[in-house]
Amino acid sequence: MSNRSTENSNKQLLNFLWNGYTTAAGAAATAHKCQKQLFAETKTKANTEQLQANKASEISGIMGNKQVRQHLETAQKTGILKISLQRLQEFPPQLKNYPNVLKTLDLSENRFERLPDEIGHFTLVKHLNLSGNKLIELPDVLGELTKLEVLLLMNNYLSKIPKTLSNCNNLKTVNLSNNQIKEFPTMLCGLKHLDVLDLSRNKITSVPAEVGTLYTTELNLNQNQISTLSEEIAACPKLKVLRLEENCLQAQTFTPRILRESKICNLSVDGNLFNSKQFTDLDGYEVYMERYTAVKKKMF
């Protein structure tokens, strides 16, 4: 082959390679440009969505604050403040300096984990509803609400309650069901007006001797982990309804003193570590049934 032909062939090859390189480079550049554009569009969209979310949250907060303000204005006249189902995570700041005029305070179905000490300022409150929150503890200042008659704390995450509640001598109803309480709240024993105490769906393992000074007519201990029940429960001066379903009790727990000498006329014990025959064979069961039957006759 001549030198001229070889030279032409080399030029053609170089042109071919250069064209391929420039095409590939162009394709890569185009792809990179598209990628940058897509990233920019995605970022812009994300920023837009975040701004919209922030705006919606801000609007929601404004609306929530407005609703709280409206409730507060009404409560000054009625003494009844209901701020439930508002998804509040913190105690409304407007309440911290609120005048002491409330008799009913309903903060149920929110997202409180703790309550500020300012709640102790509401010494006129008789009905306090804090159910359906995420409370893990209660402040000692609750004991300053000495006019309190109804305390609703069900469906929270409480493992204990403050001893200062023993100062609330006017309590009539206390509901602590569906919490994480492990010890029987003995600070409620001795409260002479306490009529109903609901401790169901907790983690209580024993009922101590102090229960003998409990003045309730109804005590609900269903769905706990109770394996020990003090015989002193027979000494309760007014106890008529005792619910102990789904616990870890043996039949022998219900001694003749409990069955014969107590005032209990409605004893619910299904779901424990014994069958119905073992229970009906207990010494004192017939005496208990006489009380049960007498109450049923009065009802009908």
Phi and psi angles of residue 149, each rounded to the nearest 5 degrees, phi first: -115, -35
Q: What average pLDDT does this structure show over 265-280? A: 97
Residue 285 pLDDT exceeds 70: yes
- Residue 256: half-sphere exposure toward Cβ, Cα within 13 Å: 2
Both tokens assigned to 246: 């789904």
Band of residue 14 on the pLDDT scale cut at 50, 70, 90: very low
Q: Is the pLDDT score of 139 beyond 70?
A: yes
Give the residue among 229, 186, 221 at the shortest CA–CA distance from 203.
Answer: 221
pLDDT at 182 over 50: yes
d(CA 167, CA 201): 25
Looking at residue 86, what is its pLDDT?
Answer: 81
CB 185 within 8 A of CB 199: yes
List pLDDT tens digits, range 185-200.
999 999 999 999 999 9
| pTM across the whole model | 0.78
Q: Would you state the structure tokens that stand for residue 128, as one six-digit string?
A: 């306090």
pLDDT for the residue 13? 47
Residues 6 or more apart in contact with residue 178 via CB below 8 angstroms: 154, 155, 156, 200, 201, 202
**Span 124-138, pLDDT tens digits:** 999 999 999 999 999
CA distance 299 to 266: 13
Taking the C-alpha atoms of residue 108 and residue 113, their distance in angstroms, rounded to an integer, is 12
Q: What is the pLDDT of residues 220-263, one digit of tens each?
A: 999 999 999 999 999 999 999 999 999 999 999 999 999 999 99
Whose tokens are 């001229």? That residue is 4
